[in-house]
Amino acid sequence: MPLIHMPIDTISKSTNPPLVEIRGLRTHFFTDDGVVKAVEGVNLDVHANRTLCILGESGCGKSIMARSILRIVDSPGRIVEGSITYRAANGRSVDLAKARPGSRMLREVRGQDIAMIFQEPMSSLGPITKIGQQISETLLLHRKISKTEAKEIAIEMLHKVGIPKPAERAEAYPFELSGGMRQRAMIAMALSCEPRLLIADEPTTALDVTTQAQILDLIAELKDELEMGVMLITHDLGVVAEVAEDVAVMYMGRVVEAGDVYSIFENPQHPYTRALLESVPRIGAERRARLPAIRGMVPHPLARPSGCPFRTRCDQAMPGVCDKSVPELQQAGETQVACHLHDMEATDGR
């Protein structure tokens, strides 16, 4: 068991239909050097009032997958296949993958129903506009309220995210706040319209551990209060163990294992998930023992291996099997896993 605290009350699973259902999503970048398949057939469910952590090394497609949901993938990238079904509060389902860029529906969903926060707050905050005004403008864009009401809600949101003297801070420019305060202000802006889904892309990576813990606690509190779904993108297993209820492990644009956090940590099925967990310090391990590392590097995106994308680094790769076809996600015990080892188990069990 890794040296991290994991709440045991995370085992229960949601029985409601997912808030967002992603099926067969492919997002490719058409560069002069070739096609980069950043997201290559992702299937995922995000539920209301649950936190789904997307885990994986840098460059595994986590952020591009999240940006695809909001249709904010930069050119030359675009969704080439798949669906992103969003269930709105009125019960209506829309496929965000098929929405016309710039359409009214997409503008309404963005910010109001689905909000996103980034690692760097200045990606969302304008540098030359006061914090309170920026939050008010977001509110006025999505809600039928007066300027005075918007200002009052902005101050209330700053208070809610733990910013001291919120009325004073509302009059400050982003550069006048510390990194942690800017992050809180960005969260206040993202949550001001009470979104049904919050996508947080490495929101605490650049912060010190104390501020990181405060921000994660804040997101968890607001999730419970607003019954919001949270998709948290991270490469930090400690963060996953602390806040996740569901986990999806990504490698080279694909989900290789998905399940509830307890099953993933207690009984991981995919060699990549196992290797990630083994690289975390354990209680009782020899003091001077070296931590195992995953051998090799993530292959260049323009040189994807044939078959299983993890086979060049996998100690259990089977020649003639793993290089022939891409394993599909299938149920294996309590988790879903994309690995040919489990095809073998299924065949043996017949």
Give the interface size with ligand SF4 as a residue count (CB under 6 A).
Answer: 13
Rg (CA), the chain: 21
- Shortest Cβ 221–ligand SF4 spacing (Å): 38
- Shortest Cβ 263–ligand SF4 spacing (Å): 18
- Shortest Cβ 322–ligand SF4 spacing (Å): 3
- Cβ nearer to ligand SF4, comparing 14 with 330: 330
Reported residue count of the chain is: 350
Residues within window 297-326 making contact with ligand SF4, judged by CB under 6 A: 308, 310-311, 314, 316-318, 322
Instruction: List all residues 6 or more positions away from 9 whose beta carbon is below 8 Å from its beta carbon.
Output: none
327 in contact with ligand SF4 (CB under 6 A): yes
Give φ, ψ of 204 to 5 degrees: -120, 5
- Cβ nearer to ligand SF4, comparing 138 with 336: 336
Strands 229-234 and 51-55: parallel
341 in contact with ligand SF4 (CB under 6 A): yes
Angle between helices 147-160 and 179-191 (to 10 degrees): 130
- Cβ nearer to ligand SF4, comparing 184 with 313: 313
Instruction: List all residues 6 or more positions away from 101 whose beta carbon is below 8 Å from its beta carbon.
Output: 71
- Cβ nearer to ligand SF4, comparing 196 with 340: 340
Residues within window 257-286 making contact with ligand SF4, judged by CB under 6 A: 271
- Cα separation, 230 vs 218, in Å, equals 12
Three-class SS state of 29: strand
Q: What sign does the CA torsion over 96, 97, 98, 103 have? A: positive
- Cβ nearer to ligand SF4, comparing 9 with 315: 315
Q: Which residues bind ligand SF4 (CB under 6 A)?
A: 271, 308, 310-311, 314, 316-318, 322, 327, 339-341
